[in-house]
Structure 1
């Protein structure tokens, strides 16, 4: 008499989700993340796909409709020169969004490199970079940009990106330095150093990647700060110069006619508010996704 003994194959344990999936799940689980992401996507789509869908171009002028209110022909009305407010506003929002993104990326990258090198090498490297950082912190950034603005010339908005980024990285670099001082003592960093890996490679391969959560959140929040700063400069005539336009310049131009032609002012101002709101919502949700203890339980 024989007895059949069947053995079941061991069931493999499910693989643990990666940190990227966990962060993405927390971000999308937050109403702030969903609302901010959806609003940002809608604003980008409107800024880049809106002007081609309109019947008027940025250079067109309707000489039969000066300061015309919103109509089927001009969705946002027209300006004093007959320009279509919708097309002009979309061009301005496009420029403001690009400036905000570029300034955020550049300033965060500079903060990461300066802070990581200062915290990893310490010594004279730390002192020199610390002196530069402290000096830039006490300089009046608004006045310096305002003085340099007339020399930029027309359409030099990329130079404005560099000027804004040059004064937005210092505080983050100090936080990065503190993290780098801690990371330089970790086992994987010490092992790489004992294997003869150069210091700059250790910084870019091990130190900076291990503080990516801080840098991503910082870059996200810097977008709104850069847009607001550029808008303020443009409002006072020190930012983007003609023939380029931005939301700040459009708000400044529309302020003179806001009482009797409010469409020249309120559409640009409203889109600026929506842009800042969307970026801040996404930034708060991203911060909570990386650090649930900071408030990730809120929905």
Structure 2
């Protein structure tokens, strides 16, 4: 056997080095190594389980009324008491929780998608495209979002809460769009973008296929944090009567109704308020953990490592 054959045989016998982990696996590993991520994800999963599986074990529906029990305290018949109308607090609050979660998730998705497209197109094309988008962004930033939503909320009357979600998303995307624009301006000079441009790839396809995937870390974290922002905004508006309109209910409408009887019937207020606090806290913990997982140079991730 020649020397080259021996070297080839030894090389074949050696195990090939394992491929490096993908970015997604590294992000997932960092996220799961964070107590904030684990705790937030667990609590958020329990909130969703309670919202969607809770009505299956409840003896009352959200629309049912017990005319023999008005403002009754928690009991075996009504686990969290009843409202002034005789409705079961447990069933009604879970219905409001589902609506608030739907509002938060839908508003976050629409808001993040709009911010990503506006920021990416402004940063890539520059010129008049950038000027127009930046002008619209700056104009919406100086408008008082709460007041605008309060004025436009009558358009989203009873049964038209998806329109309210759209109005909410249209007033939450501007800051993320500015960050996406700044990142796109730096990405448009990268080699892979210039190579795609030289190969004749259409500009819109470059933005969608090359720019947006590289903004994924910003967009994922932003979408997560926008969930809590949308829930809190909807709750605040509903508390003052400008958000979700009856007969639809949300945590905001329940907190507003329960605040009138919170002194002598606290079960009408604290259950909805507690779920709101727990949900927003869990979403923020998940968002912070995702931010640290996508950014290894962040302070908290550096400490863990």
CA separation in 1, counterparts of 2:109 and 2:207?
18
Shift of residue 188 of structure 1? 1.1
CA separation in 2, counterparts of 1:148 and 1:174?
25
Relative to structure 1, is the Cα distance of residues 186 and 192 closer, same or farther in structure 2, using a 3 angstrom cutoff?
Answer: same
Structure 2 residue 147 is the aligned partner of structure 1 residue 143: yes
CA separation in 2, counterparts of 1:69 and 1:181?
59
Q: What is residue 256 of structure 2 aligned with on the other side?
A: 252
Q: What is residue 85 of structure 2 aligned with on the other side?
A: 81
Alignment of 1:77-226 (within 5 A): 77-226=81-230
Residues matched between the structures, number: 295
Shift of residue 293 of structure 1? 1.8
Q: What is residue 269 of structure 1 aligned with on the other side?
A: 273
Q: What is residue 24 of structure 2 aligned with on the other side?
A: 20
Shift of residue 287 of structure 1? 0.4
Structure 1, residues 177-212: CA drift from partner, whole Å, max 9, x if none? 011111111111111111111100000000010110
SS in 2 for 1:293: coil
Please list every run of 5 or more consecutive structure 1 residues that lacks an aligned counterpart in the other structure: none
Structure 1, residues 201-259: CA drift from partner, whole Å, max 9, x if none? 00000001011001100111111111000000000000000111000100000001001
Structure 1, residues 29-75: CA drift from partner, whole Å, max 9, x if none? 10000000000000000001111210011111011111111111111
Name the Cα RMSD after superposition.
1.2
Relative to structure 1, is the Cα distance of residues 54 and 298 closer, same or farther in structure 2, using a 3 angstrom cutoff?
Answer: farther
Relative to structure 1, is the Cα distance of residues 221 and 298 closer, same or farther in structure 2, using a 3 angstrom cutoff?
Answer: farther
CA separation in 1, counterparts of 2:74 and 2:303?
40
SS in 2 for 1:207: helix
CA separation in 2, counterparts of 1:297 and 1:59?
51
Residue of structure 1 aligned with 2:54, choices 44, 50, 61: 50
Structure 2 residue 245 is the aligned partner of structure 1 residue 231: no
SS in 1 for 2:301: coil
Indicate conservation of the 8 Å contact 1:221/1:283, yes or no. yes
Structure 1, residues 6-40: CA drift from partner, whole Å, max 9, x if none? 95412100111111011001101100000000000
